[in-house]
């Protein structure tokens, strides 16, 4: 199989969002996750708005299609269409800025109102490397996460610490919900699609019933 064909083989595609106040490091987190390096200020004009990457979650290949607010958050005008049909989100604050932490409730209200009801959200306390300037303790944020049913990690887009983990943990939770039947990928606006690999499984001889349903396109 060619490299391109291999890299496009996945079981599921999840639509992901990165939300939170401007300056918390959302674009840097996306860049670190995709490129495995820190995006320094000199190339901020490139303005990553979108990225995708295939990750392996417990043996399943999941393609994450990640949308960055691309500056919309500066005007508090993150639109309904941005939220539509997202399966997961990273909600980001900056551990050195209480202001960005205080804004979390507003972001959560928007996400729960405008995104899919079943959206899985991971709270991300970014800039973990700046511990000496910390304004929000780990304990306080983890309590907030618990009260609001969010997963929680402190990350550093600078060192890369916990960046991959944040995306993977969020994807794992979505996958668990699909496998337990709690989440139906075929429901409109679920933010989930089947990939080629999953379709191939459906077409395997063991699942002939699924094949006949699939092929009846008349
Ligand atoms: P956005 O507005 O949320 O997309 O934030 P950016 O990704 O543009 O980052 C805002 C600023 O924070 C930039 O100056 C980054 O260099 C810096 N930054 C982002 N993540 C980190 C981090 O983990 N540690 C440190 N020390 N700085 C960061
Ligand atoms: Mg940005």
Which of 15, 20, 26, 25 has its CA nearest to residue 171?
15
Residue 6 lies in a domain: no
Give how many domains the chain has, as a whole number. Answer: 1
Residue 188: how many other CB atoms lie within 10 Å: 7
Tell me, what's the pLDDT at 3? Answer: 47
- Cα 7 to averaged position of ligand 2 atoms, centre (Å): 27
High-pLDDT (> 70) share of the chain, %: 81
Which residues constitute the domain of residue 32?
Answer: 12-203
How far is the C-alpha of 134 from the C-alpha of 18, rounded, in Å?
22
Residue 5 lies in a domain: no
Residue 106 lies in a domain: yes
Residue 215 lies in a domain: no
Residue 84 lies in a domain: yes
Environment class of 110 (CB within 10 Å of its CB; exposed 0-12, middle 13-18, buried 19+): middle
Atom of ligand 1 nearest to the CA of 39: 16
Q: Is the pLDDT of residue 133 over 60?
A: yes
Tell me, what's the pLDDT at 206? Answer: 46
The C-alpha angle with vertex 157 and arms to 152 and 158, in degrees rounded to 5, equals 135
How far is the C-alpha of 156 from the C-alpha of 104, rounded, in Å?
18
DSSP tag of 156: -
Specify the CATH number for the domain of residue 49. Answer: 3.40.50.300
| Protein residue closest via CA to atom 17 of ligand 1 | 25
**What pLDDT digit, counting tens, does each position of 8-55 carry?**
789 999 999 999 999 999 999 999 999 988 887 655 544 458 899 999
Within 6 A (CB) of ligand 1 lie 22-28, 41, 126-127, 129-130, 156-158
pLDDT averaged over the chain? Answer: 84
Q: Which ligand is nearest to the CA of 69?
A: 2
- Cα 70 to averaged position of ligand 2 atoms, centre (Å): 5
**Higher local confidence (pLDDT), 178 or 70:** 178
Residue 209 lies in a domain: no
Q: How confident is the model at residue 207 (pLDDT cuts 50, 70, 90)?
A: very low
Ligand 1 pocket test, pick from 19, 24, 28 with the greatest ligand atom count within 8 Å of Cβ, gives 28
CB 178 within 8 A of CB 185: yes
Q: Is the pLDDT of residue 170 over 90?
A: yes
Tell me, what's the pLDDT at 194? Answer: 84
Tell me, what's the pLDDT at 202? Answer: 54
Q: How confident is the model at residue 77 (pLDDT cuts 50, 70, 90)?
A: low
How far is the C-alpha of 133 from the C-alpha of 158, rounded, in Å?
15
| Protein residue closest via CA to atom 27 of ligand 1 | 127
* Residue range 150-157: mean pLDDT, rounded: 98
Residue 116 lies in a domain: yes
- Cα 166 to averaged position of ligand 1 atoms, centre (Å): 16
Residue 102 lies in a domain: yes
Atom of ligand 1 nearest to the CA of 69: 4
* Residue range 209-215: mean pLDDT, rounded: 42
* Residue range 117-134: mean pLDDT, rounded: 96
**Higher local confidence (pLDDT), 69 or 12:** 12
**Higher local confidence (pLDDT), 191 or 197:** 191
User: Mind giving me the DSSP string for 13-25?
Assistant: EEEEEEES-TTSS
């Amino acid at each position: 199989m060619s490299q391109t064909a291999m890299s496009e083989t996945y079981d599921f595609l999840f639509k992901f969002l990165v939300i939170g106040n401007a300056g918390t490091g959302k674009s840097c987190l996306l860049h670190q996750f995709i490129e495995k390096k820190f995006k320094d200020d000199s190339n901020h004009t490139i303005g990553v708005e979108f990225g995708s990457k295939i990750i392996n979650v417990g043996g399943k290949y999941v393609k994450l299609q990640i949308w960055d607010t691309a500056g919309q958050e500066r005007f508090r005008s993150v639109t309904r269409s941005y939220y539509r049909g997202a399966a997961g989100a990273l909600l980001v604050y900056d551990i050195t800025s209480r202001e960005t932490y205080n804004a979390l409730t507003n972001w959560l209200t928007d996400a729960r109102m405008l995104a899919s009801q079943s959206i899985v959200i991971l709270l991300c306390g970014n800039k973990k490397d700046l511990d000496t300037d910390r304004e929000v303790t780990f304990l306080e944020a983890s309590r907030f996460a618990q009260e609001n049913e969010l997963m929680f990690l402190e990350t550093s887009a600078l060192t890369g610490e916990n960046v991959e983990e944040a995306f993977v943990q969020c994807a794992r939770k979505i996958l668990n919900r699909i496998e337990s039947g709690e989440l139906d990928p075929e429901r409109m606006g679920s933010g989930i699609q089947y990939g080629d690999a999953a379709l191939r499984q459906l077409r395997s001889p063991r699942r002939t019933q699924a094949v006949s349903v699939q092929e009846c396109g008349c």
